[in-house]
Amino acid sequence: MVFVSNVAEPRQDGEMPANVTANKSVSANEQASAHPASAHPAAESAADMVVNTLREWYVLASDSIASLLDGRFLQQPARDLWLLGKHYDLSLEQTESTTGYPQHVIDDFSHLIWCTYRSHYAPIAQSQFTTDAGWGCMLRAGQTLMAQALQLHVLGRDWTFSWTSSDPEHTKRRQLYTRVVSEFFDDYDPRSTFSIQRMAALGQQFEGKDIGEWFGPYGTARILRGLAQQASHDVTVYTTTDGVVYLADICAEFRPTLILVASMLGIDRVNPVYYAFIQASLMLPQSAGIAGGRPSSALYFAGVQGDELLYLDPHTTRPAVTRTNNNEYLQSDLASYSCPTPRRIAMSRLDPCMVFGYYCATLESLIDLRSRIELLADDGVTAIVSFDNGHAPESAIPESHGSGPVGSESIKSEARADDGRVSTPVLLTKLPNDSDNDDASCNSTSRPKSESGEIVLEGECSDEEWVTDL
């Protein structure tokens, strides 16, 4: 078992992943001339550096002790790794000595947008909080999940660019990347759609929580949906707490959609019956990751290696990045949104309350997701997600509808013919021109059941079961 600690502050070199940068030896003057309007983030305080370092050692020690107690310390990690639906066969790769992974795996992991605690931002309205350290970890895990979905939306799964190249394609990708990251800046700018300020404010409205109170996975999912709706975002956020995805609420006027499924998969720990689905979920091409954590500590899960999950930890405090007028940034300005050190945690140590994220760019992708999940159920995997052709029940509309302003009624069921005429109701059964592909249909309605026929979902996930720490 390999344990790696980035005690010396992740990304203090100011570099982005190797396959994002064409020339890492570019001087600061050259970077400044390329983007003269960029503003560097404030320097990290000595107090934050001490806290971050101590927590790095604590996490390393606790993971090592847990591995030793589980009898896993001397075991070799599995050779098959999946990262947001992408497979790596590590038995065929030469690993990098300090991380235990090949460089291209590190590069791919570094592409993940890492949202962490921030400090030195303007006080959140109606409070004096200038940092979310100690209370915002689940909000940051939710931001990280949302960020991966937006990155998939604008850049796709595999992408690269150079921070210094003037090539039009590189410039376009660089602008798209910075646009996504800046949606999570910690300010009230209209472009900061998912800022901690907006999330905390909506938490007051939705959950009745004061600024500085802890949030759970379901509340965070609901906040993300509300912010996307308020901003009329390109990506619709659909949430459900009972594991059922109601297709009529998504398919009537389909738009790129992030499906968030909040589930409670046990009492104190995840019931092992769900391990296979958690693993399979991160192997799906639609996976945007999982927001969950260990008990009393939120994490974002992006990959799976055997019975361990690869994660990003939001419990590192970084200075807030100052937005520039032209939204142009240096590589070093956004370095703190990237982490080059994958960490792993055994599924036996997970908190049972979590949010699964699936990004569907097209209707075909949604049908493919349904087909894949139903095939898992056919193979005996206890799936916590199922699909229903109808609308969410009236009582579930505040939690489960995916369109319209916050608090509005669910969208009506209607389908448009090729000439623009409306026909109703909609019943998504096949893709256009896909009459021979019955497996891609959305006809069936299923719920995960045990061999005795009973529904096995442990329960709906509520924020009352979630308490966070530093």
User: What amino acid positions are annotated as catalytic residues?
Assistant: 137, 313, 315
* Residues paired with 244 in a beta bridge: 386
Of 322, 293, 333, the residue nearest 466 (C-alpha): 293
How many Cβ atoms sit within 10 Å of the Cβ of residue 400? 21
3-state secondary structure of 279: helix
Tokens of 350: 């997970």
Per DSSP, 348 falls in state: G
What DSSP string describes 389-452?
SSPPPGGGHHHH--SSSTTPPPPP--EE-TTS-EES-----S-TT-TT-GGG--------B-TT
- 284 and 408 Cβ atoms separated by less than 8 Å: no
Q: Among the residues of 183-316, which ranges form H helices?
A: 196-207, 217-230, 248-251, 275-283
Tokens of 207: 């959950």
Query: Do the bridges between strand 236-240 and strand 257-264 make them parallel or antiparallel, or are there none, so unpaired?
Result: parallel
| 296 φ/ψ angles, rounded to the nearest 5 degrees | 65, 25
How many Cβ atoms sit within 10 Å of the Cβ of residue 377? 17
Residue type, 257: T
- 442 and 389 Cβ atoms separated by less than 8 Å: yes
User: H/E element holding 300?
Assistant: strand 297-305
- 258 and 238 Cβ atoms separated by less than 8 Å: yes
